Chains A and B, each alone.
Chain A
Amino acid sequence: MEVISSLILVIGRPALMWFLLLNLIPLMIWLERKGSAYIQDRIGPNRAHIGGLRLAGMVHNVADVVKLFTKEDIVPSHVSRGYYIAAPFVAMTVALMTYAVIPFADAVVIGKKSFPMQAANLSVGFLYILAIASLGVYAVVLSGWASNNKYGLLGGLRSSAQLISYEVSMGLSLIGLVMAFQTVELNDIVRGQGELLFGFLPKWGIVIQPLAFVLYLTCAFAETNRNPFDLPEGESEIVAGYHVEYSSMKFALFFMAEYVNILVQGAIVTTLFLGGWQVPWLPTAVLKRHLDVVLPLLAMGTTVILCLSFVILRRYDLANRTRWQDARRREGLWLSRLSLAGALAFLILSTVFVKWPVDSKGGWPSLVVGMDRALHLLPGGVRGAIEQLLYWKGWGGVFTALVQFSAFVTKLLLVAWLFIWVRWTLPRFRYDQLMKLGWQVMLPLALANLVVTGVVYFVQG
């Protein structure tokens, strides 16, 4: 059991990170499309379907992927081939590498071993993030230069100048946080944010360093080339900027890298300023002790949400039962049944969670009728294995980590949604305004924040 669990954790951590990151990309694209649609009073994608299943336009992403994969991959004859091909891979690699140090739950302690819940536990912490992020410029520079296209080059120049300018304030805005938490290790910073200020306010980075939060968030918008800083692209001036010569999957890599970057910045903002995996007012030890309350409550909450979605989908289904049905009209029927089944499953789960796994010799087998007898029918070895799995002492740690992981993902998605929200709300800057903001407003503010923080902590001792 020990060997298996450590193997799962060693391979599982980076795998989970990749799985999360790569699967959140389509979700982000869907959020972007649907979110922009609702902000602009449109409906958004709702046509593409598989057997009638549209999932509110999420299936559209599948159509996109098929399109991008089957499109001709054109390498123009005038490009510098090697750099041209390397650039999108650099973009994607750099974006994915950053995630290695983000902690997505507190360290899970099983037996005597402690497993930090991040792909790589580096002592240099967020400096690693800054270092890797600073390499992201090469993707832009290389693609712009290698395209041998004046729009591409101009886009690359603009973008790299923007990235360099905002990297300075970005790094400086984080130094105050290091002063506050006395460490650069991300997991320690998150642990420090579990404490309470004045006895009731979580000591999150946003509370103790509000200016740094605003500065960092602004820089994050600039670093991801998002509106209001999306100057590298401009249909009326430089077309698509540095990726104007890219098509098919090479374009898709740039496109995906943009969303991975949003998710990365969202994760950094979450980790440094919004308490990371901390569930507010519930530090790890407390959470672990009260899992028998937290887990049933969470399962009940999910049940309620699924019941509500059943009601909504059912009404949608009844409203769409016309005589000549498009396959898409039947979606409501299947989804409402699915959410009802899910609600039932979570209801059962919530009763199970009351007794298991906190009370490790609890009555799990007797909870489900006939479970005991069914277990006794099995050969001894298999039964032993199943019982060992059910009564494994590591479950408490695993479920605590899962709860914290959900808290982390929730915050991450909220910040990611903020990126989309801002993109479809604010107008873009002019290029000189962007530079002026970066160097004449952000940089002095970041420095002032640094000085004030330093003085305050020096006086406090």
Chain B
Amino acid sequence: METFLFFLFALMAVAGGVLTISRRNPLAGAISLVVTFLAVAGLYGLLQAPFVAVMQVLVYAGAIMVLVVFVIMLLNMPEEDLGQERISRGRLAVGLVVGVVLLTLFAVTWLPLDLSALPAAGQADPPRDFGSIRAVGALLFRSYLYPFEIVSILLLVAMIGAVLLAKRHLD
């Protein structure tokens, strides 16, 4: 069952990702991205991380993508304005080369990993509140308090910057 669910979610995630970049219509792309996010949330759920899974849905699928879709709707581009996307030979070649290089890099970094060091399937259950809000919260606010606060300041700066840019545009 778990294997089946894993492949289902993996397939959904990959298909959504491919559709996101291949669809010409921006809304179709955005919706495909939502599907990817939901599938990834399912994968987190399978990894015994319910809190991360729910946050994935709440933040990415439920908030960020809604804003993206909202903006696409506000712009409401007619079909003619989308333009034709043509993939030239040169671009295709560059893309292929970059893809192959990245794949080899992944293979080189991950293959030496000793897989036998990982617990086998079905063995070694995670601790009882693994991935729960309490566990994640304790990690964030005890062990990693400073990085967490620094990230939140970064987000605040980004937010103020966005407001400032939008304001200047309006004035």
List residues of A whose CB falls within 8 A of some B CB. Answer: 83, 122-124, 127-128, 130-135, 137-138, 141-142, 144-145, 153, 156-157, 160-161, 164, 167, 184
Contacts and interface: CB of A to CB of B under 8 A. Distances in A.
A301 B76 CA distance: 60
B66 A141 contact: yes
B62 A141 contact: no
A135 B132 CA distance: 22
A138 B70 contact: no
B66 A134 contact: yes
Interface string B35-76: 000000000000000110111011001110011011001101
8 contacts: A122-B50, A127-B51, A127-B58, A131-B58, A134-B66, A138-B66, A144-B73, A167-B62
B31 to A, nearest CB: 7
A157 B66 contact: no
A135 B50 CA distance: 17
Interface residues of B, number: 23
Contact of A145 (B27, B34, B58, B132): B27
Given A131-B57, A141-B70, A153-B76, A124 B50 contact: yes
B8 interface: no
B70 A134 contact: no
Nearest to A145: B73
Given A124-B133, A128-B54, A138 B69 contact: yes
Contacts of A144: 73
Contact of A157 (B53, B54, B61, B73): B73
A160 B70 contact: yes
A164 B132 CA distance: 26
Most buried by B among A124, A132, A135, A137: A124
A100 to B, nearest CB: 13
A122 B132 CA distance: 10
A127 B43 CA distance: 18
Question: Ordered nearest first, which 10 A-B pairs have the shortest CB separation?
Answer: A134-B62, A131-B57, A131-B58, A124-B54, A127-B54, A124-B50, A131-B54, A137-B66, A123-B132, A141-B69
A160 B50 contact: no
A83 to B, nearest CB: 7
Interface in B55-103: 55, 57-58, 61-63, 66-67, 69-70, 73-74, 76
Contacts of B27: 83, 145
Contacts of B63: 134, 164, 167
A137 B129 CA distance: 32
B50 A138 contact: no
Contacts of B54: 124, 127-128, 131
Contacts of B53: 124
Given A122-B50, A124-B50, A135 B70 contact: no
Contacts of A138: 31, 34, 66, 69
B134 to A, nearest CB: 9
Given A134-B57, A138-B34, A157-B74, 8 more contacts: A123-B50, A124-B53, A128-B54, A131-B57, A135-B62, A145-B73, A153-B76, A161-B70
